[in-house]
Amino acid sequence: MGRKSLYLLIGGILIAYYIYTPLSDNIEEPWRLMWINAHLKTIENLATFVELLGLHHIMDSLKVAWSFYEVPPTSDENVTVTETKFNNILVRVYVPKRKSEVLRRGLFYIHGGGWCMGSAAVNDYDLLSRWTADRLDAVVISTNYRLAPKYHFPIQFEDVYNALRWFLRKTVLAKYGVNPERIGISGDSAGGNLAAAVTQQLLDDPDVKIKLKIQALIYPALQPLDVDLPSYQENSNFLLLSKSLMVRFWSEYFTTDRSLEKAMLSRQHVPVESSHLFKFVNWSSLLPERFIKGHVYNNPNYGSSELAKKYPGFLDVRAAPLLADDKKLHSLPLTYVITCQYDPLRDDGLMYVTRLRNAGVQVTHNHVEDGFHGAFSILELKISHRLINQYIEWLKENL
């Protein structure tokens, strides 16, 4: 074997080693998923390296990378797409072109990205909104919000809430031909967090007379108190979203001070005076039995009150919707929740389903046994189309 052939063989082996990740047999299109993961992992590794050099914050680098996937607001043969501002927040509006004899449904969508990156203009979110508007014959509002690390909680929450309140004004609904009795909200990952949070907030807002009919939450992040749930343990190094990256996202949502991230990883960020909040996220009593099997619940380790005083957001129900009491949950609308087996955030969604049902809320829970974080929004994958079809069919029946 010549030296050139040997080098090529070694290079091929190294590339295969970098790309290959052992996956469960029920994962569809494993090599395509591994290739997508390798691409994203490379971007994350480069961003980490740039941060270690002190040149750029990792989230700013990832934000730049995501911006290359953005597309302009271009109308097509089925849907008119425009950009405008709702209360100074940039949104995309998707309106079906075909004539309607009745007022249309309205769906307010919030993109994911760990509160740090992404936008309504990202190609996959743009396509999702187009498909939803066309197939549901609905007006879809896909909102932006200011991002960390430049902006921290509650800015993201407030941006989304202010844009939603603007949309729910009678004059705005009339302008877009939306039926005020058929409005829903939806979001994935961090967007699911924001959707759940603003839906709770609306319940206490006397100025908003129009209420949401449904909420649809796609693998939502719902609490940062316990990041050692069974799903975090089982999927700590799974593709697309690792435990360490998710904890970094949570920490960046509140501060660039990495002492919070460190405390979260060691489970020492919650002070003893906030110990009562753990009853809302106690997975030993809130998870179905099959997700508990093989895991032992350990009582939390309490930290000093210093972090909570400096960054109280991580104990705020507007950032952690799972901390809402049962009285608040009882008044929430019809709910659809997607959880994925191979997702660190799986148990957040599972616990919310349990708590909502215990509070008397009607919930449709779609647990995806071969799913993983990102399965809904990475449109290159077959599983994404399957989940979107199920999602739209549920919206057709319930919105």
Per-residue pLDDT of the chain (399 residues; tens, 9 = 90+): 566 665 565 555 555 556 667 778 899 998 898 898 888 889 999 999 899 999 999 999 999 999 999 999 999 999 999 999 999 999 999 999 999 999 999 999 999 999 999 999 999 999 999 999 999 999 999 999 999 999 999 999 999 999 999 999 999 999 999 999 999 999 999 999 999 999 999 999 999 999 999 999 999 999 999 999 999 999 999 889 999 999 999 999 999 999 999 999 999 999 999 999 999 999 999 999 999 999 999 888 899 899 999 999 999 999 999 999 999 999 999 999 999 999 999 999 999 999 999 999 999 999 999 999 999 999 999 999 999 999 999 999 999
Pairwise CA distance, residues 52 & 50, whole Å: 5
Q: Is residue 107 part of a domain?
A: yes
Q: What is the pLDDT of residue 6?
A: 56
Task: Give CA separation, 335 vs 73, 195, 365, in Å.
Answer: 30, 11, 8
Whether omega before 149 lies within 30 degrees of 0, making that bond cis, reads yes
Contact 304, 271 (CB under 8 A): yes
Q: What is the pLDDT of residue 272?
A: 95
Q: Is residue 141 part of a domain?
A: yes
Whether omega before 154 lies within 30 degrees of 0, making that bond cis, reads yes
Helices (H), the chain: 3-19, 30-52, 58-67, 123-136, 155-167, 170-176, 190-202, 230-234, 243-254, 258-265, 283-286, 289-292, 306-310, 326-330, 346-358, 382-398
CATH number assigned to the domain comprising residue 358: 3.40.50.1820
Q: What is the pLDDT of residue 25?
A: 84
Pairwise CA distance, residues 356 & 345, whole Å: 17
Q: Is residue 65 part of a domain?
A: no
Q: Is residue 84 part of a domain?
A: yes
Q: What is the pLDDT of residue 248?
A: 98
Q: Is residue 33 part of a domain?
A: no
Q: How many domains does the chain have?
A: 1
Q: Is residue 10 part of a domain?
A: no
Q: What is the pLDDT of residue 22?
A: 76
Residues classed as catalytic:
189, 343, 373
Q: Is residue 29 part of a domain?
A: no
Q: Which domain holds residue 88?
A: 76-398
Q: Is residue 60 part of a domain?
A: no
Of 191, 312, 189, the closest CA to residue 254 belongs to 312
